Chain A
């Protein structure tokens, strides 16, 4: 068990290093420091101005290690900073990026956590229910509805949700945010609702397939044969045996949590991490983007390592010495 834990974590660390290197290639060679500087100060800027901008924002070192600057180059600098989680200052307005993350963390958290939990429970319950009524009209209608729901882009959910609930019915404000506990629900209900609804289609379809695969197994027949009620069969036997694919799906959704919040936060004006990323796009703020991608990947890799360890707890059939 311990050997497995160490090996799995070591691979995770290795992937983190891979991500750091990939980000370096993208941000320092595909877009060279000169390109970044020119985008910031304008295409017709004097060479001295560009040089000054590069010095101010830490892009002036040579890109790759070489004779005379073995440790004094952007590659070493970038790797050291990322490992130390020191993201520096924003390229656009000089704000310390950690300050921005600290501010944006809580609005993002308040938005995505309820969305994630409600979405998960709703889609698992719906798909269990549908699997229970498999091969009936109800099943067919739910499947058809979920294909319909999948074919609507998230931005249409947001736009029409805002229009119908916010503008026509005037139940909730169209956008905005206030962390005051008295009014926070007024601002978060609509985004959370839209987030849940827009994700429901694909996850119901996925979980339905998972449950249907289990329903045809022998142990389900055995459970019925020994007189277990259909309720007990579904919630005890089938649900428990489907936990491995469900767990995989939960982790797969962690980065989508980030992206989902990107669209919702930009659409509803919630000042979270997604909105910060959205602003970084229009401001050509490369250092903030770099920090956001690194944080998102880190969350996902840690999540993956935890899932693999979680498998061994959920499913005793998984062997560790393989």
Chain B
């Protein structure tokens, strides 16, 4: 995605374009939810159940958005003037001129090893890493990467899985056999190994990580939507529509898709946390995405065996990852309890 163009202003346009389209998509979704009585009631319940998780998740989203609003130029007194010609986000601009020469502890006045005075004493809330970058800055930058991995991949994966699952379940016969066979073939390969192989084959890059995650994650939801469509296909209202001469496309869109929407939302949330977790694992194996928390952890893992311990690299990255996954998992749980009729009665 990012390799398409290297000029700073094109990068800025692309990044801002993603922000605008995501905001528009969110707005449309919110409008659709508010218009429907049942959806509104369900989301009000989730909001009541998981107020704090939603606040935390919104913080992550806000940081990622602040890191995505990008423009070129701007006055600064940096010693390397190159930066003023680069596309930089709001977060980048907040941390102008904070680089040190190497490690320093949180809020330290001197460097960690040679004890020479820092360029910016007591300014690094979480210290600096081996390259002298402010750890708070690097951690905040990770939010955008995590949301891109989880969000964009599931935004691409879910419609595809839904399409194949719905058509396979609805039309059946040969097409169903084919889709089911492809699903069982993909599902029989151990997930992480398939991921590794796909990334190795496509070349180690951010795009291939997203493609590989997409290829491996569509099967589960495809199977789920196929099963549900098989059930819905036999419903009275579907046969009524068919006998009235409604076309297949319209039946799928008007009568089957709305009844799968709760599964789409639940899957989106659970898939999101699964993708972020998978990326962390890949980063640890050395084939992750640049700038992700997984990579920060992978790079920082040996620092724990230093003496004295360098803990301020791994702890913020781990805590940020944990906070995101926890809030997403909690929201996903609440959504499942509220939206999925199969769990009613047995849960809460």
Could you tell me which residues of chain A, from 296 to 320, have a CB within 8 Å of some CB in chain B?
296-297, 300-301, 304
Could you tell me which residues of chain A, from 224 to 265, have a CB within 8 Å of some CB in chain B?
255-256, 258-259, 262-263
Q: Is the CB of A209 within 8 A of B297?
A: no
Q: Is the CB of A30 within 8 A of B304?
A: no
1/0 per residue A11-26: CB within 8 Å of B? 0001100110011001
Residues of A within 8 A of B329 (CB): 147, 150-151
Q: Is the CB of B198 within 8 A of A281?
A: no
Please, how many angstroms separate the alpha-carbon atoms of A297 and B298 in the complex? 28
Q: Is the CB of B185 within 8 A of A27?
A: no
Q: Is the CB of A284 within 8 A of B200?
A: yes
Interface size class of A (residues with CB under 8 A): 35 or more
Please, how many angstroms separate the alpha-carbon atoms of A19 and B190 in the complex? 11
Q: Does B193 have its Cβ within 8 Å of any Cβ on chain A?
A: yes
Q: Does A82 have its Cβ within 8 Å of any Cβ on chain B?
A: no
Q: Is the CB of B188 within 8 A of A300?
A: yes
Mostly, the A contact residues are helix
1/0 per residue B325-339: CB within 8 Å of A? 110011001000000
Q: Is the CB of A155 within 8 A of B298?
A: yes
Q: Does A159 have its Cβ within 8 Å of any Cβ on chain B?
A: yes
Could you tell me which residues of chain A, from 167 to 195, have a CB within 8 Å of some CB in chain B?
167, 174
Q: Is the CB of A209 within 8 A of B286?
A: no
Q: Is the CB of B287 within 8 A of A292?
A: no
Please, how many angstroms separate the alpha-carbon atoms of A308 and B228 in the complex? 22
In the complex, identify which listed stretch (B23-31, B115-123, B168-176, B276-284) lies at the interface while the others stay far away: B276-284
Residues of A within 8 A of B194 (CB): 293
Q: Does A132 have its Cβ within 8 Å of any Cβ on chain B?
A: no
B201's partner among A31, A216, A256 (CB-CB below 8 A) is: A31
Could you tell me which residues of chain B, from 285 to 309, have a CB within 8 Å of some CB in chain A?
285-287, 294, 297-298, 301, 304-305
Minimum CB–CB distance from A149 to chain B (whole Å) comes to 10
Please, how many angstroms separate the alpha-carbon atoms of A290 and B322 in the complex? 33
Please, how many angstroms separate the alpha-carbon atoms of A292 and B294 in the complex? 24
Q: Is the CB of A282 within 8 A of B286?
A: yes
Q: Is the CB of B325 within 8 A of A213?
A: no
Q: Is the CB of B301 within 8 A of A159?
A: yes
Chain A residue with the shortest CB-CB distance to B332:
A147
B346's partner among A30, A213, A266 (CB-CB below 8 A) is: A213
A19's partner among B188, B287, B322 (CB-CB below 8 A) is: B188
1/0 per residue B25-63: CB within 8 Å of A? 000000000000000000000000000000000000000
Q: Does A156 have its Cβ within 8 Å of any Cβ on chain B?
A: yes
Minimum CB–CB distance from A210 to chain B (whole Å) comes to 10
Residues of B within 8 A of A286 (CB): 200
Q: Which of A23, A27, A153, A297 has the most CB of B within 10 A?
A: A153
Q: Is the CB of A154 within 8 A of B281?
A: yes
Please, how many angstroms separate the alpha-carbon atoms of A31 and B193 in the complex? 16
B294's partner among A150, A155, A163 (CB-CB below 8 A) is: A155
Q: Is the CB of A14 within 8 A of B181?
A: yes
Residues of A within 8 A of B284 (CB): 155, 263, 266
Q: Is the CB of B188 within 8 A of A15?
A: yes
Could you tell me which residues of chain B, from 309 to 323, have a CB within 8 Å of some CB in chain A?
314, 318, 321-322
Q: Given A147-B326, A153-B281, A30–B189 Cβ distance below 8 Å?
A: no
Chain B residue with the shortest CB-CB distance to A209:
B346
Q: Is the CB of B190 within 8 A of A259?
A: yes
B190's partner among A22, A153, A154, A293 (CB-CB below 8 A) is: A293
Chain A residue with the shortest CB-CB distance to B345:
A216
1/0 per residue A60-71: CB within 8 Å of B? 000000000000
Q: Is the CB of B185 within 8 A of A18?
A: yes
Q: Which of B185, B285, B305, B343 has the most CB of A within 10 A?
A: B185
A156's partner among B185, B196, B286, B297 (CB-CB below 8 A) is: B297
Q: Is the CB of B185 within 8 A of A216?
A: no
Residues of B within 8 A of A19 (CB): 185, 188-189
A263's partner among B198, B273, B281, B286 (CB-CB below 8 A) is: B281
Please, how many angstroms separate the alpha-carbon atoms of A262 and B322 in the complex? 22
Please, how many angstroms separate the alpha-carbon atoms of A12 and B273 in the complex? 31
Q: Does A277 have its Cβ within 8 Å of any Cβ on chain B?
A: yes
With A259-B191, A277-B196, A278-B285 given, can you name 19 additional A-B contacts, CB distance below 8 Å?
A18-B182, A22-B189, A27-B197, A27-B201, A30-B202, A151-B329, A153-B277, A153-B280, A156-B322, A159-B314, A212-B347, A255-B189, A262-B192, A263-B284, A282-B286, A289-B196, A293-B189, A293-B193, A293-B194
User: Can you list 21 A-B contacts (CB < 8 A)?
Assistant: A15-B185, A22-B185, A27-B197, A147-B326, A151-B325, A153-B325, A155-B284, A155-B294, A159-B297, A159-B314, A163-B304, A167-B305, A216-B346, A259-B192, A277-B193, A281-B285, A281-B287, A286-B200, A293-B193, A297-B189, A300-B189
